[in-house]
Amino acid sequence: MLSAASRSLRHGVSARSVAVLSQVRTKMTPAEALKTIESEQKKCDDALQALMKSKGDSFTFADAKDLFANDKELSAAVAKIRELDMDIEWSWSRMQSLHQSLTKPPLKVALTGAAGAIGYAMLFRIASGEMFGPTQPVQLSLLDLPAAQDALKGVMMELNDCAFPLLKGLTASASPETAFEGADYAVLVGAKPRGPGMERADLMAANAQIFSVQGKALNKVAKGAKVTVVGNPANTNSLIASANAPDMSPDQFTSMMRLDQSRAEHQLAAKAGVDVSAVQRLVVWGNHSASQYPDISHATINGKWAKDVVKDEAWLKNEFVPTVAKRGAEIIEARGASSAASAANAAVAHVRDWATGSEGRWVTMGVPSSDAYGIGPGIWYGVPVVCYPGGDYKRVGGLSIDPYSAEMMEKTRLELLEERDAVKDLLP
């Protein structure tokens, strides 16, 4: 319980008026007490509504704060209300999010493999606003195989039971064309995961066809979609999907390398004994496979070159790189199933940054390769990019590549070319 003196300090009301109000309150029921501030509440509500109306979509909580701080009558009304309603700040922010979620049109997000492990770990985070922000409504369109439709019904019941204010639509289907219709974003997770002892490329026979079918469906019904491929082998599946979507730009297709990036960030931060947020500009070049090259040559730790902080070349080459590159297999060995929650987390982060911007930070995405860094076109290769709000990304160019890095980057490039050859029948 706050003392009258500290409350008066917090709210700028004189100690005398606090004492008077406290006396008044003890003699009244809560309903009677609230009546005493009825006209002040109406004054504030009316002013807030008028401000929101005049500002439209540009309205922010800061606008409301300014208005109430600068208008004498309103700040006096607020001071009186606060004596009885300590939660007024919360009420304002709630009104703000309500207003915005009602006015922004929802984004349609299609998720494949929605009844699977990664899908289950992602859906609730998308619906709660983690992927597109707390004021962006979404419509979720779930795709899975016919045999998984019952499981999907259960997932939908759970989503509905969360009563997410941002979830404005929820549908399920076993048909890619139905599920993708009009999608703004599509996250292609649905595919077979590998088991112990397998490489991701061993999944090609089972999974490649899925991405050919889904590429065609996207091309037909969701030409504007931004597509993130998670199902393995993710880079080559992106190539297949894009090749089967001739009316869409290859830049609309990305493969997820974000899990590799976060794995590398964690390993480096742990070695340096710093928080992960101190690590920046870490790059994971190439394929989401054991040949990937997690590269710290350009990375910084608290603004200093990571190499100068770590000063351990042997650790970098013999421990850091293989640990990150083989982390997926290590998890399968330990869990008996492939990573799911961390993969879902990476997918949320990948799409979030793509859609809302990475604020200048480098993030690794598998994107259509270019001539930069001697890679050449025709494969989906992990490179650092910076994302801009609205779904634009730019590759980070002009980095100097040392001989060890060049060798590692070439190795993973050659593997991607081999994978491309293996699926050439699916590349029209």
Give the active site residues: 288
Q: Which residue lies nearer to ligand NAD by CB, 191 or 239?
A: 191
The residue nearest ligand NAD at its CB is: 116
Q: Cβ distance 236 to 212 under 8 Å?
A: no
Dig out the tokens for 166 from the structure.
């941002």
Beta bridge pairs of residue 140: 109, 170
Decide which of ligand LMR, ligand NAD, none touches 331; Cβ closer than 5 to 8 Å per partner kind: ligand LMR
Among 77, 81, 96, 113, binds ligand NAD (CB under 6 A): 113
For residue 347, give the nearest of 190, 161, 141, 218 by alpha carbon. Answer: 190
The entry of ligand LMR, ligand NAD, none near residue 168 (CB within 5 to 8 angstroms by kind) is none
Q: Please choose, from the candidates 385, 396, 398, the residue with its C-alpha nearest in 3D space to the C-alpha of residue 353.
A: 385
Interaction between residue 234 and ligand NAD (CB under 6 A): yes
Instruction: Determine if 204 is a binding residue for ligand NAD (CB under 6 A).
Output: no
Greatest CA separation for the chain: 84
Q: Is 81 in the site for ligand NAD (CB under 6 A)?
A: no
Nearest-approach distance from CB 381 to ligand LMR, in angstroms? 16
Q: Check residue 208 for interaction with ligand NAD (CB under 6 A).
A: no
Which does residue 383 touch among ligand NAD, ligand LMR, none (CB within 5 to 8 A, set by kind)? none
Q: Is the C-alpha dihedral spanning 224, 348, 194, 157 positive or negative?
A: negative
366 binds, among ligand LMR, ligand NAD, none (CB under 5 to 8 A by kind): none
CB of 62 to ligand LMR, least distance (A): 41
Contact partner at residue 100 from ligand NAD, ligand LMR, none, CB < 5 to 8 Å by partner kind: none
Residues 261, 284 contacting (CB under 8 angstroms): yes
Cross-sheet strand order for the sheet of 279-280: 279-280, 300-301, 304-305
> Using CB under 6 A, which of 84, 148, 283, 409 touches ligand NAD?
148
The least CB distance from residue 104 to ligand LMR, in Å, is 34
Which contacts qualify for 208-214: CB closer than 8 Å, 24 or more apart? 208/236, 208/237, 208/240, 208/423, 208/426, 209/426, 210/237, 211/237, 211/238, 211/240, 211/241, 211/244, 211/426, 212/240, 212/241, 212/244, 212/426, 213/176, 213/244, 214/112, 214/176, 214/180, 214/188, 214/241
Smallest gap, in angstroms, from Cβ of residue 58 to ligand LMR? 41
Other CB atoms within 10 A of residue 128 CB? 15
Smallest separation, CB 119 to ligand LMR (Å): 14
Q: Which is nearer to ligand NAD, 100 or 112 (CB)?
A: 112
- Closest contact distance (angstroms) between CB of 428 and ligand NAD is 19
Residues in 266-295 that interact with ligand NAD by CB under 6 A? 288
Pairing of strands 392-395, 380-388: antiparallel
Residues of this chain that interact with ligand LMR (CB under 6 A) are: 193-194, 200, 232, 259, 328-329, 331, 338-339, 343
| Nearer to ligand NAD (CB atom), residue 232 or residue 405 | 232
Helix ranges (H only) for 129-233 are 149-161, 176-180, 204-221
What distance in Å separates the CA atoms of residue 53 and residue 38, rounded to the nearest whole number? Answer: 22
Spatial neighbors of 15 by CB under 8 A, at least 6 apart, are: 4, 5, 8
What is the residue type of 183?
Answer: A
Measure the CA dihedral 352/182/166/119, to 10°.
-60
Beta-bridged to residue 386, according to DSSP, are 394
Q: Which stretch binds ligand NAD (CB under 6 A): 23-31, 77-85, 111-119, 239-247?
A: 111-119
Residues 320-349 that bind ligand NAD (CB under 6 A): 338-340, 343
CA distance 323 to 263: 9
Query: Closest CB to ligand NAD among 193 and 250?
Result: 193
CB of 114 to ligand LMR, least distance (A): 18
The residue (of 222 and 367) whose beta carbon lies closer to ligand LMR is 367
Q: Which of residues 165-194 bind ligand NAD (CB under 6 A)?
A: 189-194
Per CB under 6 A, does 115 bind ligand NAD?
yes
- Give the nearer residue to ligand NAD in terms of CB position, either 44 or 385: 385
Cis-peptide into 233, omega within 30 deg: yes
| Residues at the contact surface with ligand NAD, assessed by CB under 6 A | 112-113, 115-119, 143-145, 148, 189-194, 210, 230-232, 234, 256, 259, 288, 338-340, 343
